[in-house]
């Protein structure tokens, strides 16, 4: 009965979300159409504002494209293109983006415990996942605090984290000094559409998407959180032990596992 209730609640959430997306998408289209309409008028009268209106329209279109990209990634119709990715290097390459995303009042620290932490994943999905975790951390810190991203190697025994097979993993941990989560929230964070954020701010797709990606990549994810003090999200991905690049490119795609 409990499971059934959950299922019903989930269907309700899907309905709400679909409505929410249609609403957001419509707003973005309104911006595009409004901008183009104004630009058209200004072209007629030779006014100087046409350029600005076109830029507004383009911004609206870009937002709409980003929304559909997120939905596509969530429904996993985007193919995964795994390749060897050195985690520390990837994170170092994101530092400008992270600084800009987190703003001036949040310190971003990256720590790389050694080097050579190579994983076999889709690079864009890993970047997206880390950016998503950083945005969640930012939201939890309300403008003040420290985000620490650490890369390290870790050998796990079977089922040490979730249902992981024994082996060598790369651990990427994303830790914030934010509000933390209550046990009730922690219990539900990986559910699609579960969010505590106001409408328009949260979709509740971030962590469930990351969960799907990590599982599909043969990894596991764990969260440690203390209400009022902060959260660490630990992403474990199987370590890729370097074979020649050419061989790596020809290696078959891992079979996607249902989450």
Interface residues with ligand ADP (CB under 6 A) are: 136-137, 140, 176, 178-181, 185, 189, 194-197, 202-204, 206-208, 231
Question: At its nearest, how many Å lie between ligand ADP and the CB of residue 87?
Answer: 19
Question: At its nearest, how many Å lie between ligand ADP and the CB of residue 143?
Answer: 14
Question: At its nearest, how many Å lie between ligand ADP and the CB of residue 211?
Answer: 9
Pick from 213, 208, 220: nearest CA to 164: 220
∠183-189-190 over CA atoms, to 5°? Answer: 135
Q: Where are the alpha helices (DSSP H) in 76-122?
A: 87-93, 95-102
Pick from 215, 207, 206: nearest CA to 257: 215
Cβ atoms 235, 214 nearer than 8 A: yes
Q: How far apart are CA 152 and CA 172, in angstroms?
A: 7
Cβ distance to ligand ADP smaller for residue 128 or 231: 231
Cβ distance to ligand ADP smaller for residue 84 or 180: 180
Cβ distance to ligand ADP smaller for residue 199 or 251: 199
Question: At its nearest, how many Å lie between ligand ADP and the CB of residue 121?
Answer: 19
Question: At its nearest, how many Å lie between ligand ADP and the CB of residue 37?
Answer: 32
Tokens coding 31: 């911006």
Q: How far apart are CA 185 and CA 27, in angstroms?
A: 30
Cβ distance to ligand ADP smaller for residue 78 or 187: 187
Cβ distance to ligand ADP smaller for residue 57 or 207: 207
The residues with which 236 forms a beta bridge, in sequence order, are: 171, 220
């Amino acid at each position: 009965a409990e499971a059934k209730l959950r299922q019903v609640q989930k269907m309700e959430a899907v309905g709400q979300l679909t409505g929410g997306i249609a609403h957001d998408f419509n707003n973005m289209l309104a911006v595009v159409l409004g901008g183009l309409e104004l630009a058209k008028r200004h072209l007629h009268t030779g006014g100087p504002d046409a350029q600005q209106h076109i830029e507004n329209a383009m911004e609206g279109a870009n937002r709409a494209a980003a929304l559909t990209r997120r939905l596509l990634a969530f429904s996993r119709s985007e193919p995964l293109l795994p390749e060897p990715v050195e985690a520390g290097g990837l994170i170092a390459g994101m530092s400008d983006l992270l600084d800009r995303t987190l703003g001036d009042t949040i310190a971003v620290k990256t720590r790389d415990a050694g080097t050579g932490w190579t994983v076999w994943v889709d690079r864009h999905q890993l970047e997206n996942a880390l950016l998503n975790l950083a945005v969640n951390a930012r939201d939890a810190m309300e403008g003040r605090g420290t985000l620490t991203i650490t890369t390290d190697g870790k050998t796990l025994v079977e089922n040490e984290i979730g249902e992981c097979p024994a082996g060598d993993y790369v651990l990427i941990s994303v830790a914030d000094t934010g509000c933390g989560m209550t046990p009730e929230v922690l219990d539900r964070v990986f559910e699609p559409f579960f969010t505590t954020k106001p409408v328009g701010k949260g979709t509740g797709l971030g962590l469930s998407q990351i969960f799907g990606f990590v599982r599909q990549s043969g990894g596991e994810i764990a969260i440690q959180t203390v209400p009022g003090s902060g959260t660490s999200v630990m992403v474990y991905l199987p370590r890729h032990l370097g074979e020649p690049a050419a061989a790596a490119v020809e290696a078959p795609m891992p079979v996607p596992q249902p989450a």
